[in-house]
Structure 1
Amino acid sequence: MNGAETDDAIMLPDPLEGDPRLPTYFGDSWAAVESFRRMLVDEGVLRGLVGPREVGRLWERHLLNSAAVVPFLPQTGVIVDLGSGAGLPGVVVAAMRPEAQVVLLEPMERRCSWLLEVVNELGLTNATVTRARAEDVHGSLTADAVTARAVAPLDRLYRWALPLLTSGGVLVALKGGRAADEVQAAGKVGKRLGAGQASIHAAHTIDGVDETTVVRVVREAVRGVR
């Protein structure tokens, strides 16, 4: 099998493409989310944002997975997407929470360039791109909510995300099968930073798509990083 045949075998069509449930699920955000998917299909692999095998499962593994966090987020206020990368979940959140101000926080220049293109192409006037690490903006950027997907284990994520939150702000992290172990391991760090008890949720999107594991924790008190 030559290289071209290998690529064709890897880049299979998305089984959810054309599914009539998708426009219904995304509602008013459908046009933006569908355009975002098309940009990822056209440019994602070339720019190193998604792997070739992910192109055929963008809806289930990435876009619906990202959308699963939205019910856990406030309708308004400032939402920071930590380590935004390709824009998952931040771009989806911005599309689905048009009354919130969404900050796509990303330290890598090439990814920031991509995010700026996406924001401009989709007309997401409620989204801004900030090139920085979380630690760089502690004390200067304050959020009502922080999202994170595939960024770091929860103990590290607490150190980066919790100082960004106001008292009463919420961290919503997409996690995998070891979520409970991460919650337990991060308990002491979270307590030092004012976090309440983390809760683990199985978030549903559409039938036939695996539920997304979401960890939600409220910052109950504002304390310094130690």
Structure 2
Amino acid sequence: MFHVEQRTAEVPEAAVRLFGDRLDLAVAYWESLVSEGQKRGLIGPREVPKLWERHILNCGVLQELVPEGAVVADIGSGAGLPGIPLAIARPDVKVILIESMLRRTTYLSEFIASVDLDIRVVRGRAEDRAVVAEVGQCDVVTSRAVAALPLLMSLSMPLLRPGGLMLALKGSTAAQEIVDSAREARKYGAVDLAVRECGAGFVDELTVVIEARKIDAPTRRTSRR
């Protein structure tokens, strides 16, 4: 069980505005990363001073790009980023965390149960057939620091319904990644690739996201005789 001591004096004002009446859940997550996250080797001690700005808020602002009521699969979720902050910021969204390492899925399951969040944890790799079958076709697939764009598209597109969105948190090279991956994008059925920024008014350094849409299913043509 997690013991959560809420240190509201240390919560930035941006978190108060972003998470609103679910701020207590965000604080509980921050506390769990500081305590259990460090103890289990999910985050390093140098990350603690940056947890709000660089991790929790940086991921929570992704909610700006997620459609209402979406089913979201977060691949390579690690310590729950960006899936958990997204789920806290957007209670209308159903989040599935996909992670292959047992110690990480154990942490995720225990934390989610401790605060009664409606999040599902699936252990496995995004490319595993069993995972694809269990997760099904989602509206959105998110990721953060998982892989280069070509591999990321190969992992994300099979989990998306036609027309669904891939939202990959990236850095300053995002635009060049899109240019360099044009051929792979066509191969994996990814279209409308673009760099999006979110978090204005919440984070000092905007969150950079590569957005791509899974191509719609082709319309069958009926031959006329």
TM over 0.5: yes
Alignment correspondent of 1:138: 132
Question: Which residue among 115, 118, 133 is the counterpart of 2:111?
Answer: 118
Larger mean Cα displacement after TM superposition, 19-28 or 29-38: 19-28
Contact map agreement 1:193 1:221 (CA 8 A) in 2: no
Alignment correspondent of 2:215: 220
Cα RMSD (Å): 1.8
Structure 1: distance between partners of 2:104 and 2:147: 18
Give the letter aligned to residue 152 of structure 1.
A
Question: Which residue among 186, 189, 192 is the counterpart of 1:191?
Answer: 186
Contact map agreement 1:201 1:214 (CA 8 A) in 2: yes
SS at match of 1:197: strand
Structure 1 residues 208, 192: closer, same or farther in 2, change over 3 A?
closer
In the TM superposition, 1:63-74 aligns within 5 A as 63-74=56-67
Question: Which residue among 109, 123, 148 is the counterpart of 2:143?
Answer: 148
Give the letter aligned to residue 37 of structure 1.
W
CA deviation vs aligned residue, 1:84-109 (integer Å, no higher than 9, x gap)? 10001111111122122210000111
CA deviation vs aligned residue, 1:180-214 (integer Å, no higher than 9, x gap)? 12112222111122211211022124356211111
Alignment correspondent of 1:61: 54
Structure 2: distance between partners of 1:67 and 1:25: 8
Structure 1: distance between partners of 2:110 and 2:202: 32
Structure 1 residue 43 corresponds to structure 2 residue 36? yes
Alignment correspondent of 1:79: 72
Structure 2: distance between partners of 1:222 and 1:65: 33
Contact map agreement 2:69 2:93 (CA 8 A) in 1: yes
SS at match of 1:49: coil
Structure 1: distance between partners of 2:200 and 2:21: 16
Q: Give the count of matched residue pairs.
A: 207
Alignment correspondent of 1:128: 120
Give the letter aligned to residue 134 of structure 1.
A
Structure 2: distance between partners of 1:165 and 1:128: 17
Instruction: For residue 168 of structure 1, report the CA deviation from its aligned partner.
Output: 0.8
CA deviation vs aligned residue, 1:97-153 (integer Å, no higher than 9, x gap)? 21222100001111000000111112112x100001111123542111000001001
Alignment correspondent of 1:95: 88
Structure 1 residues 155, 48: closer, same or farther in 2, change over 3 A?
same
Structure 2: distance between partners of 1:167 and 1:158: 14
TM-score normalized with structure 1 length: 0.86
Structure 1: distance between partners of 2:109 and 2:173: 33
Structure 2: distance between partners of 1:101 and 1:38: 23
Query: Percent identity between the aligned chains?
Result: 38
Structure 1: distance between partners of 2:55 and 2:167: 16
